[in-house]
């Protein structure tokens, strides 16, 4: 079934003006057209670029007026404030069905959304790229880091429903009462039983005595008993050789239990030994011996077994994994990094990343061997950890990943170079302007502007006169001029003015491109002078270019009324 773009007459469940619904429907129409274009054309096709420009302009108009564009996601349908704006029941083509199947119940575009974000979003929803290790829509959107595009999952709604239900216990309890009991309460009443004469009651002391006898008769757990005996022996032995022998017996028991399926009991024994070794400060020789032995516990088979438990069962909660990962990291940091490369569950990977970051703050060198690992996702996570702790000790090794084969690794390296305070790291950011992925090139430009890296102003000003710049897409050119405006401020106004006022005879496409680029830079220079310059250009340009300039005037005016962010930074 083909997509149906619904009319504004669809009965609403929320109040919205006809103009607002019409604009929302128009955006949906542009989005469907562009999504089809993503499947049909190459990324460099000018027709596809035109589709994205039109979608961006319409989305910007919507967000300037209403601040957000939120679509509620049903199985085959998108709704805007109760109005159906899209419907397609073909499971192989429906964008709504793909999102609904991945647990998404609402998608929200916020003011400030950029063309590259819309490109990434439609690329993900259209599934135009082959998925990797993480190929569901939620994972790919999280990985792309879309700043102005967010989502609400089914789990979020369930949590909200639970909170509401907890606050309305009376209503919930009423629903559980059968209708027959509500109609005739006496029929459901529990009848009083006649206590027979030979029935005797026990007092509290007699009850406690019987309970103690019952507990003593319960079956004895031989594994638990053996572990207790070994723990007692380890605590009381004074001879070093005897201690080493019983320590190996204890660890062998722990390992055998783990491989035989008694993972919960095995981890309890591991935890006991770790806490015994770290209970004293400073750590003595015997405690160091125990910690070293625990570091040898995690063989390849043991790690694979632990991964299976983490990924396929609920035996370990996130908090329990946090505690265990701290113990693993303290005894064998390399093992913790290996585990990070093996676990597939995203929630648990985040726990491991958090723990590894805490340990790597003191010894970042433990991450060095994994920067050259063949698993791209492990390399990406190691660079992410270095970004979080903002450590530049491994800077020389990280910059070697600028040309890594996987763009997700390169993207994380770019974030790392911006995050660390080491001045030597900053010039390497310019190397990403020649990255093979347009999204990374644009991201590098945006990060240069946000970080206010003034050293980039001069080379970027020279860059716009090169043939390489001319070969860029309009999205990249806009990003270049946005950075020039952010870094150069008022010094760039003469350049932008010449681009707005220049006459392009018989070159309407060239004129529109120049205006689009100039506007991208001017939007980063709030002020009265910028607004006057745009209004002057508005009077002299054709209607096709006027929409672009009008949106820019609205953006600049809104910035003028907001607090001066540059002064706040100072």
72 CB-side CA count, 13 A? 11
At which residue do the structure tokens 């103009």 appear? 19
Q: What percent of the chain has pLDDT over 70?
A: 83
Collapse the DSSP code of 302 into the 3-class scheme (helix H, G, I; strand E, B; otherwise coil) and give the result: helix
pLDDT on residue 87:
92
Is the pLDDT assigned to residue 399 strictly greater than 90?
yes
Per DSSP, which regions of 130-279 are E strands?
Answer: 149-153
Per-residue model confidence (pLDDT) at position 418: 93
Domains in the chain: boundaries: 18-160, 453-570
- Return left, alpha or beta for 106; rule: phi > 0 is left, psi -120 to 50 is alpha, else beta: beta
CB atoms under 10 Å from CB of 192, counted, come to 6
Q: Which of 530, 565, 535, 547 lies closest to 56, judged by CA?
A: 547
User: CA 290, CA 293: separation in Å to the nearest integer?
Assistant: 5
Q: What is the pLDDT of residues 104-113, one digit of tens each?
A: 899 999 998 8
- Segment among 32-41, 289-298, 337-346, 558-567 with least mean pLDDT: 558-567
Cβ contact 107:151 at 8 Å: yes
- SS3 for 177? coil
pLDDT tens-digit series, residues 1-14: 456 665 544 445 45
pLDDT tier at 536, thresholds 50, 70, 90: confident
Strands 68-73 and 104-110: antiparallel
Q: Grade residue 477 by pLDDT with cuts at 50, 70 and 90.
A: very high
Helix 285-295 to helix 318-331 angle (10° resolution) is 120
Tell me which residue of 431, 378, 432 sits closest to 409, measured CA to CA: 378
Question: Looking at residue 160, what is its pLDDT?
Answer: 57
Per-position DSSP letters for 474-516, written without gaps between them: HHHHHHHHHHHHHHHGGGGHHHHHHHHH---TT-HHHHHHHHH
Q: Comparing 210-219, 300-309, 459-468, 520-529, which segment has the lowest mean pLDDT? A: 210-219
What is the rounded average pLDDT for all residues in the chain? 83
8 A C-beta contact, residue 103 and residue 154: yes
Spatial CB neighbours of 199, under 8 Å, sequence gap ≥ 6: none
Token pair in block for residue 88 = 């397609």
C-alpha distances in Å from residue 268, one per residue of 184, 194, 566: 54, 50, 54
Question: Could you tell me the two tokens for 223?
Answer: 């594994």
The per-residue pLDDT for 568 is 45
- Where are the extended beta strands (E) located within 88-210? 104-110, 149-153
| SS3 of 36-59 | HHHHHCCCCCHHHHHHHHHHHHHH
Q: Name the phi and psi angles at 530, rounded to 5.
A: -65, -45
Query: Residue 104 contacts by C-beta under 8 Å, 6 or more apart in sequence?
Result: 73, 137, 138, 151, 152, 153, 154
Q: Do residues 244 and 296 touch, judged by C-beta distance below 8 A? A: no
Q: Which of 71-85, 154-168, 476-490 has the least mean pLDDT?
A: 154-168
Residue with tokens 């400073």: 282
Q: Give 547's Cβ-side CA count (13 Å radius).
A: 11
- Residue 86 and residue 3 in contact, taking contact as beta carbons nearer than 8 Å: yes
Question: Is residue 178 scored above 90 in pLDDT?
Answer: no
pLDDT at 564 over 60: no
């Amino acid at each position: 079934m083909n997509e149906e773009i619904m009319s504004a007459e669809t009965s609403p469940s929320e109040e919205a003006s006809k103009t607002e619904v019409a604009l929302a429907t128009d955006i949906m129409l542009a989005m469907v057209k562009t999504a089809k274009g993503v499947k049909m054309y190459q990324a460099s096709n000018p027709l596809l670029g035109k589709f994205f420009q039109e979608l961006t302009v319409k989305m910007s108009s919507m967000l300037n007026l209403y601040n957000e564009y939120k679509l509620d996601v049903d199985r085959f349908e998108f709704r805007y404030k109760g109005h159906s704006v899209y419907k397609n029941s073909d499971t192989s083509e429906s964008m709504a069905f793909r999102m609904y199947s991945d647990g998404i119940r609402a998608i929200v575009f916020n003011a400030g959304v950029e063309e590259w974000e819309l490109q990434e979003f439609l690329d993900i929803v259209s599934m135009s790229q082959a998925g990797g290790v993480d190929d569901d829509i939620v994972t790919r959107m999280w990985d792309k880091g879309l700043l102005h595009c967010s989502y609400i999952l089914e789990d979020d709604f369930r949590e909200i429903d639970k909170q509401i239900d907890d606050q309305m216990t009376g209503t919930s309890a009423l629903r559980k009462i059968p209708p027959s009991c509500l109609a005739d309460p006496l029929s459901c009443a529990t009848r009083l039983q006649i206590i027979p004469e030979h029935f005797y009651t026990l007092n509290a002391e007699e009850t406690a005595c019987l309970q103690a006898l019952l507990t003593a008769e319960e079956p004895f757990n031989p594994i638990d008993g053996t572990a207790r005996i070994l723990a007692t022996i380890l605590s009381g032995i004074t001879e070093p050789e005897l201690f080493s022998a019983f320590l190996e017996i204890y660890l062998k028991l722990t390992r055998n239990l783990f491989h035989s399926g008694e993972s919960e009991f095995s981890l309890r024994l591991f935890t006991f030994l770790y806490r015994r070794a770290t209970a004293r400060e400073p750590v003595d020789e015997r405690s160091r011996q125990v910690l070293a032995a625990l570091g040898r516990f995690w063989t390849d088979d043991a790690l694979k077994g632990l991964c299976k438990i983490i990924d396929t069962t609920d035996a370990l909660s996130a908090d329990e994994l946090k505690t265990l990962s701290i113990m693993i990291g303290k005894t064998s940091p390399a093992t913790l990094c290996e585990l990070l490369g093996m676990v597939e569950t995203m929630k648990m990977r985040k726990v491991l990343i958090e723990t590894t970051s805490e340990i790597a703050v003191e010894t970042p060198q433990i991450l060095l061997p994994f920067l050259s690992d063949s698993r791209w996702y492990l390399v990406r996570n190691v660079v992410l950890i270095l970004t979080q702790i903002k450590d530049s000790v491994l800077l020389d090794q990280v910059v070697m990943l600028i040309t890594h084969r996987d763009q997700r690794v390169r993207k994380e390296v770019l974030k790392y170079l911006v995050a660390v305070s080491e001045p030597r790291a900053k010039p390497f950011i310019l190397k990403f302007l020649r990255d093979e992925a347009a999204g990374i090139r644009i991201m590098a430009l945006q990060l240069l502007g946000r970080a206010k890296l003034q050293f980039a102003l001069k080379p970027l000003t020279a860059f716009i006169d090169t043939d390489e710049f001319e070969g860029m897409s309009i999205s990249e050119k806009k990003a270049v001029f946005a950075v020039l405006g952010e870094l150069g401020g008022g010094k760039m106004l003469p350049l932008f003015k010449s681009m707005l006022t220049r006459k392009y005879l018989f070159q309407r496409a060239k004129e529109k491109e120049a205006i689009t680029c100039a506007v991208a830079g001017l939007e980063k220079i709030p002020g009265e002078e910028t607004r006057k310059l745009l209004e002057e250009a508005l009077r002299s340009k054709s209607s096709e270019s006027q929409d672009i300039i009008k949106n820019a005037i609205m953006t600049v005016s809104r910035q003028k009324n907001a607090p001066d962010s540059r002064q706040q930074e100072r």
